Amino acid sequence: MLKLKKYGSVALLLVVILVASLVTYSFFPPFVKESFGLYESYEYSQMYLKNDTYSDLVIEYDFVSGLIPSLEAREHLESQVENYTDKEEIKSVLDENIPSKISEGRTSTLQPPIIEGPSYDRDDLAHLEEEYRTHEREDETIGLHVLYLDGVWEENPDVLGLAKQPSTIVIFQETILDFAERVEVGPEDIETSVLTHEFGHILSLVGMGYESDHEDPENQHHCDESAGDCVMAAAVEYKERRGSPEVEEREAPPDDFCVLCQQDLENIREMDNTFSMGHIVTYGFIGGQMIVGLGVGLVIINSSDERKPPVNTTAGNFSSHQKSGWEERGSDYPGYSNGSDVEEKGTREPGWP
């Protein structure tokens, strides 16, 4: 008899967990996913690729004074959004000037060294995002936040740009200017390539949360360029082009996704997170917490009712029928490079945790 009761209790607990997970998953997915950080990488990307939740996009640029994003880079990013997403309206906003970070500068390792500006760490970037971002997700509009900074990335002074899902891009413009002078390529061309590259990471390229057969085995989340030149390569590549026997020119780096990355975007668009055992455990735990919280709240309310003083119903004492204080109370979260130019590379990293 004891065993039956024991098994019955276990079965009841499993049923409660299953029901709680189904209810939580079915009726509160946006709230629960946002509050507990349960969105998958591709789900964030789908917010940009599709228009069923957000039909419009605002690209917000905040920049250190004097480092305004180039018109060429901004227009190209808008064209990429038009080409690869279903957004109906795309708007770019040059928002606020950011004061340069006052700190001890850190010199880039590129030779000859040019940059002696400030260095930025993870806390700096988190602070700038919180302080200056004004467009996020609201109604039918989703925001993309782009920071243009002076100085360098503290963890790797040669980094040209960073991306952090769900919606933040960082461009180290002075590092780009340094690199452009070093390799004699137009700074707007490199800026355009880096900005497009980081947007690709926002869209989960390459292999971020899914299997990709063209991910560079030596550079995670980057394209191996097996289908040709691609903006999602791990480093900004430039190629020499001879215009005449006396004049050598260098081509602008790629600024578009290769056919394999384009196919990845289509696959990401169609991905669906089916309900699994992992969801049962996760949502069951969250739903169980909500049920326990509701139960505790009811117990507190009932206990409060039991402690109310008795009402004096003595005839003629009408004042005793007035509301007592108990009733009044309420209980009120980057260098593209061919094989011979390895030493010329700048790097582009997909994000910071």
Q: Which ranges in 28-90 belong to alpha helices (H)?
A: 29-36, 41-49, 71-84
pLDDT for res 328: 25
Boundaries of every domain in the chain: 54-272+335-349
Question: Tell me, what's the pLDDT at 335?
Answer: 33
Nearest partner of 128 among 193, 195, 61, 34, judged by Cα: 61
Higher pLDDT, 18 or 162: 162
Mean pLDDT across the stretch 111-124? 73
- Number of neighbouring beta carbons within 10 Å of residue 207: 18
Quick one: average pLDDT of 184-206? 96
Task: Pull the structure tokens for residue 348.
Answer: 């582009």
The per-residue pLDDT for 260 is 98
Alpha carbons within 13 angstroms on the beta-carbon side of residue 190 total 34
> 217 vs 298, which has greater pLDDT?
217
The DSSP bridge pattern shows strands 141-149 and 56-64 to be: parallel
What is the DSSP code (8-state) at residue 317? Answer: -
In whole angstroms, what separates CA 88 from the centre of its chain? 21
Average pLDDT, the chain: 75
Amino acid sitting at position 152: V
**In the predicted model, is pLDDT for residue 150 greater than 80?**
yes
Percent above pLDDT 70 for the chain? 59
Q: Is pLDDT of 316 > 90?
A: no
Rounded-to-integer distance, Cα 118 and Cα 124, Å: 11
Angle separating helix axes 29-36 and 2-27, nearest 10 degrees: 100
Contact 152, 171 (CB under 8 A): no
Dump pLDDT digits (tens) for 321-330.
333 322 222 2
Read off the pLDDT of each residue in 285-305 and give the average, rounded to a whole number.
Answer: 59
Q: Please, which residues bridge with residue 97 across strands? A: 63
Lowest mean pLDDT among 103-107, 124-128, 159-163, 225-229: 103-107
Q: Identify the pLDDT of residue 170.
A: 97
Q: What CATH homologous superfamily does 54-272+335-349 map to?
A: Collagenase (Catalytic Domain) (3.40.390.10)
Distance CA 115, CA 121 (A): 16
Residue 189 has pLDDT above 70, yes or no: yes
Kindly indicate the confidence band of residue 96, based on its pLDDT and cuts at 50, 70 and 90: confident
Mean pLDDT, rounded, for 228-250: 71
- 10 has pLDDT over 80: no
| Residue found under tokens 């969105």 | 39
Helices (H), the chain: 2-27, 29-36, 41-49, 71-84, 122-132, 173-183, 187-202, 259-270, 277-306, 325-328
Cα separation, 308 vs 119, in Å, equals 62
pLDDT exceeds cutoff 90 at 259: yes
pLDDT grade, residue 104 (50/70/90)? very low
pLDDT value of residue 282? 54
What average pLDDT does this structure show over 49-57?
94
- Lowest mean pLDDT across 176-180, 229-233, 310-314: 310-314
pLDDT level of residue 46 (50, 70, 90 thresholds): very high
